[in-house]
Structure 1
């Protein structure tokens, strides 16, 4: 059965801004509180603050960017978050955009797949309390974390296309997707994950889809909300390539037309409650284990109260 979780729909600048969303996870059927990479309040610190304020909920990092921290630091931060919250953590990682790699590392990864393989191998070994001895092209590590009991930390990998999906199947506990239509997940991503898992002779990882969504509202057409949620993604070559593979008619030129294409292609969900439930059921049918409700577009266009209202209404309808 598919579980449902909540994404923090903005980049917090103060830790207390997270508390209403942590409370939503604590008091509703929502499974986990997720946040993507943030460059104001760092997600690990924000989640630890919420735990200190009494909201000890499962968390997901979807995804933090590999160029920002060495894999030893990544494993330490993820385990520290599990210790601070007392709850399970999904520590998702991804290579980020080539422009960020260039900015922070001096040059982009020649092979993002190789970089991700090295990174996840090191983090997995450290979280398993192993002595890691890896000398890679991009990441090296010889060492171990000091062993100490902690809630489970699951290893996640950001996935858009088949190559990363196969790698997730080999190495990750969770594949984390963003803006991916349900049929593409069922027809392309999951088969690639199964292929990778079979190659490594291990179980198929869970599949988590972070899904942009909005209840219909007067005065705000869905394309506007989709653009407010995904303007940056519509300029990313890797996202455009994924969307085209998924049959979404994006051009990469006219962002307003591309935002409307997200709605028409099922990458951005919009409608009344019944329509949204029907669209969400497609993810369950596609084999998705967890759907993360992303109301960033509503937050950016209509404000915080409307975004929280949408989450409450959708979660209530899912529980009915």
Structure 2
């Protein structure tokens, strides 16, 4: 059964800014509250602060960036969050961009796939309660964590293209995608996940898709919502390549025209409630296990109330309270 979740549509500067969205998850049919990497309020700490305010909800990190912390610290933070909330955690990781890697590590990963494999291997062993004796090209660890009882921590991996999807199939519990059309997930990502899982002789990871969405309203133009949500990604070569593979070629286009093509191609869900439900249903039929509603464009263009209104309307249509 496909679940529906909520992405924080902005990067909080104060922990109390998470509370309305945590309350939305607690009081509706939404499964969990997600946040990507933030350089203001650190996501692990923000979620713990929300738990301290009384909102103990399932959480997802989609994704935190590996160069910021050693895998031991990553495992410790993820387990601490699960212990503090009393709820399961999806701890998603990704290598970040090459310039970000170089700025923190001195040089980018020669092989991001190798770095990711090493990182998640160490984190998984530590979370399993085992003492790790691992020497890798990028990460090493000879330690174990103090035993503790905690809710389940699932390891997530940010996935965009087939090579990382195959690796996720081998080593992750959850594959987390961003801006990926349903057809691309069904035709490219899921087959690669299954291939990796078969190679690793393990279950196929759950697929969690972060889907940008905006309800049609008189004051909004669809392409403006796309630009308010994803204009940096539309300039990034790896996203341009993924969209091209998905049949949405925006290379060399002016951004407004590229945004219109993304709506037409299904990379951005826009329309009335019925249109949105139909578009999200494409993800369900494609095999997505968790659809994460991303209202960043609405928030950036029209503010917090507009984003919250859209979220409530969409959740009422797709996610019934338990």
The aligned counterpart of 2:53 is: 53
CA distance in 1, matches of 2:249, 2:295: 22
Quick check: 1:240–1:252 contact (8 Å CA) kept in 2?
A: no
The SS at the match of 1:141 is strand
1:26-53 Cα distance to aligned partner (Å, 9 max, x none): 0000000000000111100110000000
1:236 deviates by 1.8
Q: TM-score, normalised by structure 2?
A: 0.98
The aligned counterpart of 1:116 is: 116
1:205 aligns with 2:205: yes
Quick check: 2:228–2:296 contact (8 Å CA) kept in 1?
A: yes
Change (3 A) 1:91 1:319: closer
CA distance in 2, matches of 1:206, 1:13: 31
CA distance in 2, matches of 1:247, 1:133: 45
The SS at the match of 2:124 is helix
1:172 aligns with 2:172: yes
1:32 aligns with 2:29: no
Change (3 A) 1:252 1:34: farther
The aligned counterpart of 2:292 is: 292
1:253 deviates by 5.5
1:252 deviates by 5.1
The SS at the match of 1:145 is coil
Q: Which moved more, 1:137-146 or 1:282-291?
A: 137-146
CA distance in 1, matches of 2:179, 2:19: 25
Map 1:276-291 to 2 at 5 A.
276-291=276-291
Quick check: 1:6–1:32 contact (8 Å CA) kept in 2?
A: yes
The aligned counterpart of 2:231 is: 231
Quick check: 1:2–1:288 contact (8 Å CA) kept in 2?
A: yes
1:216 aligns with 2:216: yes
Gaps of 5+ in 2: none
1:254 deviates by 2.6
CA distance in 1, matches of 2:30, 2:40: 25
In the comparison of the two structures, how many residue pairs are matched? 320
Quick check: 2:30–2:319 contact (8 Å CA) kept in 1?
A: no
Quick check: 2:51–2:84 contact (8 Å CA) kept in 1?
A: yes
CA distance in 2, matches of 1:202, 1:311: 35
CA distance in 1, matches of 2:132, 2:209: 31
Map 1:5-16 to 2 at 5 A.
5-16=5-16
1:261 deviates by 2.1
Report the aligned-residue RMSD.
Answer: 1.0
1:219 deviates by 2.2
The aligned counterpart of 1:302 is: 302
The aligned counterpart of 1:97 is: 97
Gaps of 5+ in 1: none
Quick check: 2:186–2:286 contact (8 Å CA) kept in 1?
A: yes
